Chain A
Amino acid sequence: MNNIMTVKDLCLWYGQTQALKNINIDIPEKSITALIGPSGCGKSTFLKTLNRMNDLVQGVKITGEVKYGDMDIFAPDTDVNKLRKEIGMVFQKPNPFPMSIYDNIAYGPRTHGIKNKAKLDEIVENSLRGAAIWDEVKDRLKKSALGMSGGQQQRLCIARALAVEPKILLMDEPTSALDPISTSKIEELASELKEKYTIVIVTHNMQQAVRISDQTAFFLLGDLIEYGNTEKMFATPEDKRTEDYITGRFG
């Protein structure tokens, strides 16, 4: 399998505090990579580094190298907006815009210059189908997205991310605000999406990592402790700390 992203010696500071320490990870294409670890371990920070969402936080300093394909994402001539188009993101809390369902999905394509109505209609339908929510919303595309249930909103946000045809989807604990049924729908969806997309998902839920991911990275206090095949890591963790965590001794 090809690696779509490679991370070398990544360090990150928020002001004086170091949040990530010498992280090295290769992310294989068209697979699901889970990032696990206790709160504050740096997994979300790491995720947000991959599409430079950390740029929005003041006082962040980054060293090391993150490559997307052959491209250094921190290179001064990188267009962050295009990078984020290729590497989409789904957030912890569903965050649809206060617009209609249609406009939510069309927001990304419009941002990147697609104006043709027929083309947009097609993208909206395909994205909603891709996120397995088309049948639920096809009759109310012009209604506000804020009227949907939490689970629907999150799938809408996934559809919205798909609409710009990203290569990678970053998911930051996408099910932590949802009920079990909505959660399982999102998990099923993620498993289907990896046919076409590369997914990196942060999760608090160990079972979720086992259920859906191909490889897992365990973070602790800004260090990457262990990274490898999910089944193998949960069956025979190499590091004592990983074992303690996945058997529920802390966290």
Chain B
Amino acid sequence: MKKSHNKFETIIHGIFLILGLITVGFVLLITVYLVIAGIPAIREIGLFKFLFGKKWASTASTPSYGILPFILTSIYGTAGAIIIGVPIGFLTAVYLAKVANKKMKAVVEMAVSLLAGIPSVVYGLVGMLVLVPWVRETFNIADGASLFAAIIVLAIMILPSIISVSLTALEAVPPEYEDASLALGATPIETYFKVSVPAAKSGIAAAVVLGVGRAIGEAMAVMMVSGNVANMPKLFGSVRFLTTAVASEMSYSSGLQKQALFSIALVLFLFIMLINALLNSLLKKEKE
């Protein structure tokens, strides 16, 4: 009764270990590639000039590579999307978690998952043909493709994430908390907002952070509705985001211009890593 399968099992174990580590490998690959590709342009341009330069003119005869307009546009755009999207998403989640009956809940949840399944180019297309003309006429400006239009589209696109993560958090609130509040004479609505919501606050915060991540990383839909000119951000002006800055010039760029695009991607990546870390710590808190 001696061992014979042992070698075979060890090999299988090894194969699965490698498969398990592939995820880590991919993260490293992405990080390393972005750093290697992103550093040279920053070195050449100078970190300060690159990050805080107000002028991006990559194709001018004396090119200028300042990405402050993109950074600010991304921040403003994300903030705007959060300001509009979070209240709507959050209130929808409270409704679904606490107020809605089973049937209503199933219908709305189905709707939300459909919203999540719509490709971003479709949002972009509808934005281009409905939202942009509407903005132009309503606010009486020359071109409706603007930061404002992008904010609306982003707000819609982050709704599903906000709703589903908040919903999970709200549903995890132990019913005992709510019972205690109800027994003290609070009405259901008061209970939901004054007991359930605070109890789920780290989960809801996670929903917001996830929304930030989604909004800051979106490229295609934004590209189609924001006008795509490298201005300093103005609510009703044509703007360019970090993501769209990369996407719009990549196909024809070369040399320092191309390298600078990689540097922009690196900056975007750092933003995302920061957001990820925050999201993870919030979700951990939620679990506890």
Direct A–B contact in the complex, CB atoms closer than 8 angstroms:
yes
| Residues of A bordering B, CB below 8 Å | 71, 77-79, 81-83, 86
Among B1, B4, B5, B6, point to the contact of A83 (Cβ < 8 A): B1
Closest to A69 in B: B1
- Complex Cα spacing A81 to B5, Å: 9
Closest-by-CB residue of B relative to A80 is B3
User: Chain B, interface size: which category?
Assistant: under 10
Chain A residues contacting B3 (CB-CB under 8 Å) are 77-79
Give chain A residues whose Cβ lies under 8 Å from the Cβ of B4: 79
On chain A, the residues within 8 Å of B6 by CB distance are 79
| Shortest Cβ gap from B257 to chain A (Å) | 55
Once the chains are docked, how many angstroms separate the CA of A44 from the CA of B3?
26
Q: Is B103 an interface residue (CB 8 A)?
A: no
Bound Cα distance from A86 to B1, whole angstroms:
10
When C-beta atoms are compared, the residue in chain A nearest to B2 turns out to be: A77
A78 to B6, CA, bound (A): 10
Q: A71-B1, A79-B5 are in contact. List 14 more A-B contacts (CB 8 A).
A: A77-B2, A77-B3, A78-B1, A78-B2, A78-B3, A79-B1, A79-B2, A79-B3, A79-B4, A79-B6, A81-B5, A82-B1, A83-B1, A86-B1
* CA distance in complex: A83, B5 (Å): 13
Q: 16 pairs across A/B with beta carbons < 8 Å?
A: A71-B1, A77-B2, A77-B3, A78-B1, A78-B2, A78-B3, A79-B1, A79-B2, A79-B3, A79-B4, A79-B5, A79-B6, A81-B5, A82-B1, A83-B1, A86-B1
Distance of A67 from chain B, by nearest CB (Å): 12
* The 9 A-B residue pairs with the shortest CB-CB distance in the complex, in nearest-first order: A79-B3, A82-B1, A77-B2, A79-B1, A77-B3, A79-B2, A81-B5, A71-B1, A79-B4
- A8 CB to nearest chain B CB (Å): 19
Can you name the residue of chain A whose Cβ is closest to the Cβ of B5?
Answer: A81
Distance in angstroms between the alpha carbons of A82 and B4 in the assembled complex = 10
* Chain B: minimal CB distance from A225 (Å): 33
Most buried by B among A71, A79, A83, A86: A79
- B123 CB, nearest partner CB in chain A, Å: 43
Name B265-286 residues within 8 Å CB distance of A.
none
What chain A residues lie within 8 Å of B1 (beta carbons)? 71, 78-79, 82-83, 86
A48 CB to nearest chain B CB (Å): 19
Chain B residues 1 to 44 lying within 8 A of chain A, measured CB to CB, are: 1-6
A79 to B5, CA, bound (A): 8
